[in-house]
Amino acid sequence: MTDTVLTDFATEEAAHTGRAALDAWVANFAALTQPDVILWCDGSEEERARLLAEMTASGALIALNHDLRPDSYLARSTPSDVARVEDRTFICSADQEDAGPTNNWRAPNEMRRELDARFTGSMSGRTLYVVPFSMGPLGGAISQIGVQLTDSPYVVVSTRIMTRMGRPILHEIDAGARWVPALHTVGMPLCTPSGARLPDVAWPSNETKIIAHFPETREIWSYGSGYGGNALLAKKCFALRIASSMAHEEGWLAEHMLLIKVTSPDGHTYHLAAAFPSACGKTNFAMMSPTRPGWIVETIGDDIAWLRRGEDGRLWAINPEAGFFGVAPGTGADTNPAAISTIRSGTIFTNVALTREGDVWWEGLTPEAPRNLIDWQGKAWTPETGTPAAHPNARFTVAADQCPTISDDWDSRDGVPIDAIVFGGRRATNVPLVAEAEDWEHGVFFGATTSSEQTAAAEGPVGILRHDPFAMLPFCGYNMADHWTHWLRIGEALGENAPRIFRVNWFKKNAAGKYVWPGFGDNIRVVEWIVDRLQGAAAVDWTPLGGLPRTGALDVAGLGLEDADLVDLFDVDPELWLAETDQIDRLFATFGERLPLEMSSRLAQLRGRLEELR
Ligand code: GTP
Ligand code: SPV
Ligand code: MN
């Protein structure tokens, strides 16, 4: 029996450097997938206009009313392709231990064999687009190049928004740059094996989906989905999973973090990086409209940060992306006016509702739903219908520079120096509104013990509490415990220059099940306390959960909060927390010997302090 594995051609490091290797790789992949046409994307305005016109003509996109929503489009996915598929996402490291217990693992050769079979002929009747892109400003010290091959024009126009894409990147490759290869097919060929032509559909996909990563050879293979994090491979697959593994090897960090610049009323500026799980408030925090006079928040990134120790010994960060792929539901003029203004034009919407006038709508855009809508599945909808008009994970795709709060230095080649790191999650109980870590190691413990109620950003049950360490559970391309060790080492290297670390939770609920904290623009009050702490000013009470604002130190004036609400926001309940430490213990135990000792000793310390409080 022969055991030829076609995809082995791409396993040498040199295989992904320079132009000759790129040409060979594209030719090989075309031979495997058998597209009708190969199109090298130049990223031009003409190319974008042509693709949008083709997709509008074919029904893949609906052009919105040009007067109401200029140059904007609606895509409706097939109902089985609306979110990331975590149980079909694989880290194919040579050794299973290197993927770790929180990732799905497949042996590389076994996965390559399956992918070879799936990709064979998968593009017949379609166009293969070659999409070169840069994550981070082209030529920046922290930036990286990738090339995605795809048979989805939706992916091409989306990648043009989300990354720096096109001809300038090819020039870098011509000059010998290394690139990360990313292969994508929607898995719906348009020719039968006998050559008969099949009709296309508005949103091609395959019921079987495979999102595979090969960290050792830095390759991505994605099959069967056209949706967001499954298909825009520059984003989660490259900028988080593969990049985190590169960063682990090379001494930097790739994290699921927003980046903001905060200016206080006295004119000082600070840069914050914050990690919250999917659909837990990063975009909203990144575009915050502060309710406190004199405070300014400017946006640098809303989803991903790459961080590296700079020559000055501080931690510097870039947003590797060039656009926002943001959650639509809940985004309204009252909650996120900056996002509303960002998406006024030039936006691709996915799975939102369509109004009779040809504009978009979703739950939370306005307090009242319009009377007659077409829902995200293309069906007539009225407020009495009883199902959401927009899918809960409906998204907008829009260029970062359209955002009115975008910071001047959002695309600075060197990035920005980070003053504070924040971890957050969606927790109805236990986790206080804000807490400060004692030191870097304690902050790593905050990151490692982050948990959150699941959201609609991934397939699966919503609302169930799960651990999501560093908000990286679905995105860490290597063993999660090694990620914690890596963070501890980075902290050692930064020493006195290390940013301070905090934990926040906007989502505590009271006994009536209502959010206690107003959130959104009022989150500036928490930022204000954090900044005061950086300046050494704000008063703090040290508790087993870290440093909490002393009564009066966090300004809650005018919010109408009752004493009982403040108790809810800052309560340290030893019984609830001892139960939570048991769950953390179970998580930690899954890592065996890879768990850094610092984490088990911090857990023991937390338990001891909680016992004392009992
Ligand atoms: P991903 O793009 O999936 O990584 O998500 P994200 O973390 O950027 O989440 P996003 O900011 O889009 O928020 C998701 C949902 O949380 C939206 O429906 C928001 O309205 C809601 N949300 C954001 N911030 C707050 C807040 O401060 N309080 C409350 N109650 N809800 C919030
Ligand atoms: C997330 O789920 O964290 C996202 C959206 O940012 S997606 O790109 O689909 O993963
Ligand atoms: Mn995200």
Name the residue at shortest CA distance from atom 10 of ligand 2: 229
Contact 263, 269 (CB under 8 A): yes
Residues acting as catalytic residues? 280
94 and 217 share one domain: yes
CA 182 to centroid of ligand 2, rounded, Å: 17
Contact 280, 426 (CB under 8 A): yes
Domain's final residue, options 228, 251, 274: 251
Residues of the chain where predicted confidence (pLDDT) is lower than 70: 1-14
584 and 571 share one domain: yes
Handedness of CA 247, 252, 253, 259 (dihedral sign): negative
133 and 246 share one domain: yes
Distance CA 417, CA 419 (A): 7
Q: Which helix (H) or strand (E) holds 190?
A: none
CA 392 to centroid of ligand 1, rounded, Å: 12
Domain's final residue, options 357, 373, 402: 402
Q: Give percent of the chain with pLDDT exceeding 70.
A: 98
Q: Which atom of ligand 2 lies at the shortest distance from residue 227's CA?
A: 9
Closest among 2, 468, 7, 481 to 210, alpha carbons compared: 7
Q: What is the CATH number of the domain that holds 544?
A: 3.90.228.20
Enumerate residues 6+ apart whose C-beta is below 8 A from 509.
428, 429, 515, 516
378 and 459 share one domain: no
Closest among 325, 412, 406, 322 to 142, alpha carbons compared: 412
Give the domain extent around 364: 324-402
Q: Which helix (H) or strand (E) holds 237?
A: none
Closest among 291, 286, 350, 400 to 76, alpha carbons compared: 350
SS (H, E, C) 364-420: CCECCCCCCEECCCCCEECCCCCCCCCCCCCEEEEEHHHCCCECCCCCCCCCEECCE
Q: What is the CATH number of the domain that holds 361?
A: 2.170.8.10
Is the Cβ atom of 329 under 6 angstroms away from ligand 1? yes
Domain's final residue, options 220, 251, 282: 251
206 and 246 share one domain: yes
418 and 271 share one domain: yes
pLDDT tens for 406-457 read 999 999 999 999 999 999 999 999 999 999 999 999 999 999 999 999 999 9
CA distances from 507 to 228, 395, 425, 525 (A): 26, 21, 8, 15
**DSSP states along 247-302:** HHHHT-EEESEEEEEEE-TTS-EEEEEEE--TTSSHHHHHT---SSTT-EEEEEES
443 and 453 share one domain: yes
Number of domains comprising the chain = 3
Q: Which atom of ligand 1 lies at the shortest distance from residue 325's CA?
A: 2
**DSSP states along 317-354:** EE---SEEEEE-TT--TTT-HHHHHHTTSS-EEES-EE
Q: Which pLDDT value is given to residue 13?
A: 56
30 and 149 share one domain: yes
Structure token digits, residue 482: 């090694």
Q: Which pLDDT value is given to residue 336?
A: 98
With both helix axes pointing from N to C terminus, report the angle between 480-494 and 440-448 in degrees, rounded to the nearest 10: 160
Burial of 5-18, coded b for 16+ CB within 10 Å and e otherwise, reads: ebbeebeeeebbeb
Q: Which atom of ligand 1 lies at the shortest distance from residue 336's CA?
A: 20
**Structural domain contains residue 67:** no
51 and 169 share one domain: yes
Ligand nearest to the CA of 458: 2
CA 282 to centroid of ligand 2, rounded, Å: 11
CA angle 72, 365, 66 (to 5 degrees): 25
Helix residue spans in 405-479 (DSSP H): 440-448
Q: Which atom of ligand 1 lies at the shortest distance from residue 331's CA?
A: 20
| Total-model pTM | 0.97
Q: Which pLDDT value is given to residue 14?
A: 62
The pick from 84, 162, 283 for probing ligand 1's pocket by mutation, whose C-beta has the most ligand atoms within 8 angstroms, reads 283
**Structural domain contains residue 70:** no
Is the Cβ atom of 278 under 6 angstroms away from ligand 1? yes
Ligand nearest to the CA of 327: 1
Residues with CB under 6 A from ligand 2: 84, 228-229, 235-236, 278, 303, 325, 457
215 and 284 share one domain: no
166 and 212 share one domain: yes
Q: Which pLDDT value is given to residue 139?
A: 87
